[in-house]
Amino acid sequence: MKKNTLTLAIPVFNEAESLEIFHQRLGKVAEQLIDQFGLTIEILYIDDGSSDGSAEIMNHFSSGRYSIKTICFSRNFGKEAALVAATECCQKGAIVFLDSDGQHPPEILPEFVRRWKEEGNDVVYAVHHKRQDHPIKQRMVGLFYRFINAGSSIEIPPNAADYKLLSPRALEALKACQERIRFFKGLSTWIGFKQSAIEYEPEERISGTTKWNMLGLLNLSSEGVISFSTAPLRATILLGVGIAIPAMLYGFWILFSSLLLGNDVSVYAALFTVTVFMGGLQLMLLGLVGEYVGHMMRELKQRPIYIIAEEHSQKAKTSEASDAFGG
């Protein structure tokens, strides 16, 4: 039964304007997957503390030959927490994660399932064919992936989206990861197994604007780097060596010039500049180490990753009932 069960997990945060259109598209694809692959399908919506009535809209969705389940958080815990909730609250079987704004087109889901069912891939993920972002953002994304992969034992695919499928055994492996702070893109690569990439072009949002801002992206990026790379800590060693060697050589030069050559050397301005520079550098490096320590402290506290306020569910309709309702 596991091999024929698929959960379509959709994190939602203030997407009231796009939800009905998205659900109609997703429902049609779900029916197609049932016919084509004989799957038992559950659509799982995770409301991440929306304040625009998204939860009320999802609670009134009508099921077809697929079941619908809605989970509402007590507040906004973030997308990574919503993905964790999806893995813990889904049916036993495979799972697909996709966004509710329409940028992850549901119509390519049959290809995800085909690569899982027919080609034996355990992780199938979507990759941007060509990013349409601002050139500065594209460079920053490229630098992020080079940086995180530089100090990691795994290679996280650049430009991979959160639009991906995990087979039953890949899902169980992901559940075995006990981190409180999750970086989903890294973990889905770390678990291994046979993986396959699907190139796609993100579609325009159905409505509204992205809920991500620069601060949120930087926070997610920093957590990803801290979770999967020690490159920043190793860079501090190289930086320290790079400063210490010239400083030592300059000190020898001052001694040589003043003691052996008899030159008058005015070092007050240089000492003041170096002292201020070193003080600022030490504060910066302490802050970097503090980020890692803070990360460990949050893990040790073991607070819940999310808190569920309420749940709603609708069972799948039988074929006869579905036909009676025009399904």
Q: According to the 3-state scheme, what is the secondary structure of 192-231? A: CCCEEEEEECCCCCCCCCCCCCHHHHHHHHHHHHHHHCCH
Find where tokens 């993986």 sit. Answer: 195
Element spanning 10, H or E: strand 5-12
Q: Which token pair is 255?
A: 């001694």
For position 152, what pLDDT does the model report? 61
Same domain, 247 and 190: no
What is the Cα–Cα distance from 174 to 220, expressed in whole angstroms?
Answer: 19
Q: Which residues pair with residue 10 across a beta bridge? A: 45
Same domain, 124 and 154: yes
For every residue of 24-91, DSSP letters joined together read HHHHHHHHHHHHHH--EEEEEEEE-S-SSSHHHHHHTPPP-SSEEEEEEESS---HHHHHHHHHHHSP
Same domain, 18 and 157: yes
DSSP state at residue 315: P
Find where tokens 């460079």 sit. Answer: 139
Buried b (16+ CB within 10 A) or exposed e, 114-139: ebbbeeebbbbbbebeeeeeeeeeee
Same domain, 157 and 272: no
Q: Which residues pair with residue 308 across a beta bridge? A: 73
CA atoms within 13 A on the CB side of 40: 12
Of 129, 125, 105, 106, nearest to 116 by C-alpha is 125
Of 39, 165, 153, nearest to 108 by C-alpha is 165
Of 4, 11, 65, nearest to 39 by C-alpha is 4
Same domain, 275 and 151: no
Count of Cβ atoms closer than 10 Å to residue 209 Cβ: 7
What is the Cα–Cα distance from 140 to 214, expressed in whole angstroms?
Answer: 11
| Number of domains the chain contains | 2
| Containing structural domain, residue 32 | 2-228+304-324
Are β-strands 5-12 and 40-47 bridged in parallel, bridged antiparallel, or unpaired?
A: parallel
Find where tokens 């506290």 sit. Answer: 301
Same domain, 123 and 110: yes
Same domain, 131 and 43: yes
Same domain, 235 and 202: no
Note down pLDDT in tens along the chain; length 327 residues: 456 889 999 998 888 888 888 888 898 999 999 988 888 889 999 988 888 888 888 888 887 888 888 889 988 888 888 888 888 888 788 999 988 887 888 888 999 999 998 888 998 988 876 656 556 666 666 666 666 666 666 667 777 788 889 999 889 888 887 777 777 777 778 788 888 888 887 777 777 666 555 565 566 556 656 665 666 666 676 676 676 677 667 666 666 666 666 666 566 656 666 676 676 677 677 767 766 776 666 666 677 777 888 888 778 776 544 443 344
User: What CATH number has the domain bearing residue 112?
Assistant: 3.90.550.10
Same domain, 194 and 104: yes
Element spanning 151, H or E: none
Buried b (16+ CB within 10 A) or exposed e, 193-203: eebbbbebebe
Which residues, other chains included, contact 53 with Cβ-Cβ below 8 Å and sequence gap of 6+? 16
Same domain, 32 and 122: yes
Same domain, 73 and 94: yes
In percent, how much of the chain has pLDDT > 90? 8
Q: Phi first, then psi: what are they for 312, rounded to 5°?
A: -135, 150
Same domain, 83 and 51: yes
Local structure of 162: helix, strand or coil: strand
